[in-house]
Amino acid sequence: MPDTFQCSPGSSGDRKPSPFRSSSQEKVYKPAHKVVLVMVDDDEDDCILVKAALKDACFNCTFRCVQDGLQIMDYLKHAGNYQDPRSAPFPDLILLDLNLPRMNGREVLARLKTNPHYRSIPVIVLTTSTNIEDVKICYDLGANSYIIKEAHFDGLVTSIRTLKDYWLDVATLPPKGQP
Amino acid sequence: MTHSPPLVAILDDDPDNHVVLKRAFEECRQDVRIKAFHGAEDLLDYLEQMSKGGKTRSTLDLALISLYLPGKTALNLVKHIKSNPDLKRIPLIVLSDQTSDPDIRECYDLGANTVITQPVLFDDLVDVVKILCEYWLGPVRT
């Protein structure tokens, strides 16, 4: 499936006015570069749903989906299928499922958060697991937040829009580049 | 989803900012309880007392700390909280004045859950706090 979308300002529809602009103070806090979200999920339907949920809301995003833990490591290192750096722009945010083939989400999280090149990337665990032990382990490993992946589309859309409002409109993301 | 009145700790050595943040939170959640601290030691004492009672995660929903405490206080505090097994699961939000501060990356490196640039205008701050509440007191599990 195509894994990139862009929304022009004119197509943002019912997007709420940015809280960072005001008529009395023309100050824009948000970075000008396109925000790159990478979702790690082996369920293609979930990727399509999240992409759809983001599409209406995301002002200036590139969305990529990779299928498992080994693929996200290849993506970050520009190895395997991602040797062309243009195919794998450095993520501003990672959405991470836990139950992944080959290398599970906990191991991915541990690797990302102990690597000085990647540990500043905010990682949001997005999983169907409501197990309190999973929540605890993920925060212990350094997850920036943990969200339950809703089974119903409407619930998922609401969660993803709240996520988008917070991480893309309110949070100041870490600068890209070498540590 | 947090149904009980949420408890938010704020650490800032500027008392004016306590008032402003408290008002912004109250605009978003009328039942919010704010615990304001002026010094890092006071906040740490409070957190450690709570954790001794086994209550840290069940009672504290969020901690907001100013990046502009004297010296490297804020960074040291993030490091301390996020390396303490009893405290590290507290959602820790660092408030900055500018998006380009070189300490922002270090905050994330040390485990801050988010860095937020605090808007100057009150109406903008209310918008930001509203989204922050909707997120941390909404779909996020802690």
pLDDT in the model for residue B142: 85
Lowest mean pLDDT among A16-30, A74-88, A164-178, B5-19: A16-30
In the numeric block, which tokens belong to residue B75? Answer: 């960074």
- What domains lie within chain B, and their CATH numbers? 7-136 (3.40.50.2300)
HSE at residue B22, side-chain half, CA atoms within 13 A, is 15
CB-CB neighbours of B10 under 10 Å: 22
Closest by alpha carbon to B108, among A177, A97, A126? A177
Q: What percent of chain B shows pLDDT beyond 70?
A: 94
Q: Give how far A3 is from chain B: nearest CA, Å.
A: 25
DSSP letter (8 states) at residue A168? I
Band of pLDDT at residue B102, cut at 50, 70 and 90: confident
User: Of A27, A120, A159, which is closest to B108 when you measure between CB atoms?
Assistant: A120
User: CA B8 from chain center: how many Å?
Assistant: 7
Among A18, A93, A120, A176, the strongest candidate for a mutation testing the B interface, having the largest count of B CBs within 10 A, is: A120
Mean pLDDT of A97-122: 96
B1-60 residues touching A, CB cutoff 8 A: none
B120 chain-A contacts, CB cut-off 8 A: 25, 27
Give the list of residues 6+ apart from residue B103 with CB closer than 8 angstroms, or none: B67, B74, B75, B96
Query: pLDDT band at A125, cuts 50/70/90?
Result: very high
A171 lies within 8 A of chain B by CB = yes
- Residues in B closer than 8 angstroms to A154, CB to CB, are none
- The residue among A87, A106, A134 whose CA lies nearest residue A40 is A106
Indicate if the pLDDT at residue A98 is higher than 50. yes
Q: What is the pLDDT of residue B139?
A: 86
**pLDDT of A12 strictly over 60:** no
Predicted local confidence at residue A116, as pLDDT = 96
Cβ distance of B91 and A130 shorter than 8 Å: no
* Tens of pLDDT, residues B114-128: 999 999 999 999 999
Residue predicted with more confidence, B111 or B53: B111
Q: Give the per-residue pLDDT at A21.
A: 39
d(C-alpha A119, C-alpha A98), whole Å: 18
User: Within 13 Å of residue B90, how many CA atoms lie on the same side as its CB?
Assistant: 35
Task: Please check whether the domain covering A9-170 is classified as CATH 3.40.50.20.
Answer: no
| Cross-chain CB nearest to B135 (options A136, A166, A175) | A166
Name the minimum distance, in Å, from the CA of A106 to any CA of chain B. 16
Check whether A97 has a pLDDT greater than 90: yes
Arithmetic mean of pLDDT, B90-115 = 93
Confidence of residue A30 (pLDDT cuts 50, 70, 90): low
Residues A128-166: tens digit of each pLDDT = 999 999 999 999 999 999 999 988 888 988 999 899 999
A132 phi, psi to nearest 5 deg: -60, -30
Inter-chain residue contact A139 with B96, CB threshold 8 Å: no
What is the phi/psi pair of residue B114, to 5°?
Answer: -155, 150
Residue A76 has pLDDT above 50, yes or no: yes
- A171/B105 touch (CB, cutoff 8 Å), yes or no: no
Average pLDDT estimate for B46-53: 86
Find out whether B42 and B12 touch, Cβ atoms under 8 Å.
no
In angstroms, what separates the C-alpha of A87 from chain B's closest C-alpha?
Answer: 25
* pLDDT for A174: 93
Q: Residue A120 contacts by C-beta under 8 Å, 6 or more apart in sequence?
A: A174, A179, B105, B108, B109
- Burial-class residue A114 by CB neighbours within 10 Å (0-12, 13-18, 19+): exposed
Q: In this predicted structure, what is the pLDDT of residue B84? A: 93
* ipTM reported for the complex, 2 dp: 0.92
For residue B133, the chain A residue with the least C-alpha distance is A166
The three-state secondary structure class of B115 is strand
Tokens of B87: 């405290």
Which of B91, B111, B116 lies closest to A172 in CB terms? B116
Residue A8 pLDDT > 90: no
Residue A11 has pLDDT above 90, yes or no: no
Alpha-carbon span B5 to B21, nearest angstrom: 17
Using a CB-CB distance cutoff of 8 angstroms, which residues of chain B are in contact with residue A169?
Answer: 131
Q: Band the pLDDT of A53: cuts 50, 70, 90.
A: confident
Torsion of CA A52, B2, A124, A118, to 10 degrees: 150
Query: Average pLDDT of chain A?
Result: 83
| pLDDT value at residue B56 | 58
Lowest mean pLDDT of A174-178, B85-89, B105-109, name the range. A174-178
Point out which residues pair with A53 in neighbouring strands: none
DSSP strand pairing (B114-117 vs B92-96): parallel
| Every domain of chain A and the residues it spans | 9-170
Interchain pair B105, A179: CB under 8 A: yes
